[in-house]
Structure 1
Amino acid sequence: MVLSHAVYFLLTDPTSANLAALCNGCREFLSDHPGVLSFSVGRVSDLDRHVNDRDYHVALVIVFKDRDSHDTYQRSARHTDFVAAFAPSWKKVRVFDADLETFTS
């Protein structure tokens, strides 16, 4: 079973420069960790459906090959450095972790 780690950031001051800085910081500090199967970061979509929760500015989704890879990532210096550098700009952060089964068609 793989583990999906989805993080949704709401910034205190969501200027274009601050959004770009956070996305770039995610790529610099959080991509390319051992055990990462997929890494994606981006800004909230303009899809305006009644079921969409748009209470965020930046989304980060990382899929790990297993829980051990996720746990190692959480303890890594790069992750700790990312939080220290960018947490002051966050108004709210929501994290959704899920164990995913994979299927092939």
Structure 2
Amino acid sequence: MNYMKKLSRRSFLGNSTSLSLAGFFGLMPALDRSNQKPKGDFVHHVYFWMKNPDSAEDKAKLIEGLKTLKGIKAIKLARIGVPANTNRDVIERGYGVSWLLFFDNLEEQEVYQKHPVHLKFVENYSHLWEKVIVYDSVDV
């Protein structure tokens, strides 16, 4: 006995089209989410002006210290940077190192500020900088 049902070309194409459309529309919410930015992100960007701006050793020490902070669980994303080789009137290039952090919200950023690893970082590395500027913002 043949259990396989013989499909006509028309019914096969009709079923295939229906399944394709169902699959596509099933993916629509995922495609829509991929273009959306998460709401509520808290951005903390720190710029360090070095006491000895020409010292590669001091800059390396500060970067080493910043890397120790990356293990703090409250941090969603962290980036360490140095000035890019760009020159326009609006670009500030006087800082030595930047520290860019993303948190889920202000509360998570406050956890980071009070975290023992962060407090130890300030204690151990603050002698390397003469000025710090912080820009905090929230995602819109």
For structure 1, the residue ranges without an aligned partner over 5 or more in a row are none
In 2: Cα distance, 1:89 partner to 1:35 partner: 25
State the partner residue of 1:82.
Answer: 121
Deviation beyond 2 Å, 4+ runs, structure 1 = none
| More helix by percentage | 2
Q: 1:20 aligns with which of 41, 51, 60?
A: 60
Corresponding letter in the other structure for 1:93: V
Are positions 1:54 and 2:93 aligned together? Answer: yes
CA deviation profile, 1:40-93 (whole Å, cap 9, x unmatched): 002111111111011200000000011111000000100000001111111110
Unaligned runs of 5+ in 2: 1-39
Give the TM-score, by structure 2 length.
Answer: 0.68
SS of 2:76 mapped into structure 1: strand
Q: Report the 3-state secondary structure (helix = DSSP H, G, I; strand = E; otherwise coil) of the residue aligned with 1:71.
A: helix
- Which protein, 1 or 2, shows the higher relative CO under an 8 Å CA cutoff with sep ≥ 6? 1
Matched to 1:76, the amino acid is H
Q: Percent identity?
A: 26
Q: Which amino acid aligns with 2:59?
A: L
Contact 2:62 2:125 in 1 (8 A): yes
Note the aligned Cα RMSD (angstroms): 1.0
Contact 1:11–1:57, Cα closer than 8 Å, also in 2? yes
Instruction: Specify the SS of the correspondent of 2:84.
Output: coil
Q: Which one-letter code corresponds to 2:48 in the other structure? A: F
The yes-or-no answer on 1:63 pairing with 2:102 is yes
Name which one, 1 or 2, has greater alpha-carbon Rg.
Answer: 2
Q: Write the distance in 2 (CA, Å) between the matches of 1:48 and 1:20.
A: 24
Q: TM-score, normalised by structure 1?
A: 0.90
SS of residue in 2 equivalent to 1:36: coil
Contact 1:34/1:69, CA 8 A, preserved across alignment: no
Q: Distance in 2 between matches of 1:34 and 1:69?
A: 9
Secondary structure of the residue aligned to 2:52 is coil
Query: Given that residues 43 and 103 in structure 2 are in contact (C-alpha distance below 8 angstroms), is that contact kept between their aligned partners in structure 1?
Result: yes
